[in-house]
Amino acid sequence: MSVRAKRGRPAERPDRRESILDAALHCFVERGFYGTTIPEIAAKANIAAGTIYHYFDSKEALVNALFRLWKTSIAQRVLTAFPQGASSREQFRTMWHEMIAFATSEPTAFAFIELHNHASYLDAESKAIDGNTKTFAHMMIVRAQREGAVKPLDAWVLMELVFGAFVGMMRAHWEGRMVLGDDVIAGAEQACWDAIALH
């Protein structure tokens, strides 16, 4: 697919766009959205600051493109592996391990999408993608409740309890307070299931 130039701008180069997104990812994780400037992102990408505006109209457009990129990536990973006809317990296990695989293979991206508060600058498209991901997890818990496998507490509450524990575990791992070995991963997954399971 060819990349057409915007009016008054040179044709976009996919490799340069990727380098800008990668530089922005690291800057946003290190300094936060409001603590990061376009010149800092440009310096990280080894380009002129004005070049960024050939690809993104603003810093807000850039952070939203980055958010959508990685939210979509983790969602696709989970959905591809999700065992539709399996038991709720097996579905839970699969989601847990796919999220672990993503968080450990793309730690900077996971830190960006899950350890930062994005509410003040996400656009409608980004919010919709984020909402779809959460709705999928919520529906999985509702289904498990109908099967009698999960406690009859509000499904949103149960989802946040599990996800909060997951994010806390990953933060402890990145901060060196926990070694994330296979035994810890499996034990934490079982403990989180036990926390929401009915029996």
Taking only the tens place, the pLDDT of each residue in 98-115 is 999 999 999 999 999 988
What's the whole-model pTM score?
A: 0.86
Question: What gap in Å lies between CA 16 and CA 124, rounded to an integer?
Answer: 26
Reduced to 3 states (helix: H, G, I; strand: E, B; else coil), residue 197 is strand
- The pLDDT value recorded for residue 11 is 56
- The pLDDT value recorded for residue 147 is 93
For the domain made up of 67-196, the CATH class stated in words is mainly alpha
- The pLDDT value recorded for residue 116 is 84
CA torsion, points 58, 59, 63, 69, in degrees to nearest 10?
40
Question: What gap in Å lies between CA 157 and CA 150, rounded to an integer?
Answer: 12
Question: What gap in Å lies between CA 71 and CA 122, rounded to an integer?
Answer: 12
37: left (phi over 0), alpha (psi -120 to 50) or beta: beta
Region(s) of the chain under CATH 1.10.10.60: 10-56
Closest CA to 129 of 74, 167, 170, 56: 74
The answer to whether 77 touches 105, Cβ cutoff 8 Å, is: no
Query: Which pair of tokens denotes residue 3?
Result: 């990349």
Reduced to 3 states (helix: H, G, I; strand: E, B; else coil), residue 47 is coil
Region(s) of the chain under CATH 1.10.357.10: 67-196
Under DSSP, the state recorded for 180 is -
- The pLDDT value recorded for residue 5 is 39
Main-chain phi, psi angles of 149, to 5 degrees = -95, -20
For the domain made up of 10-56, the CATH class stated in words is mainly alpha
Q: Residues of the chain whose pLDDT is less than 70?
A: 1-12, 14
Under DSSP, the state recorded for 11 is P
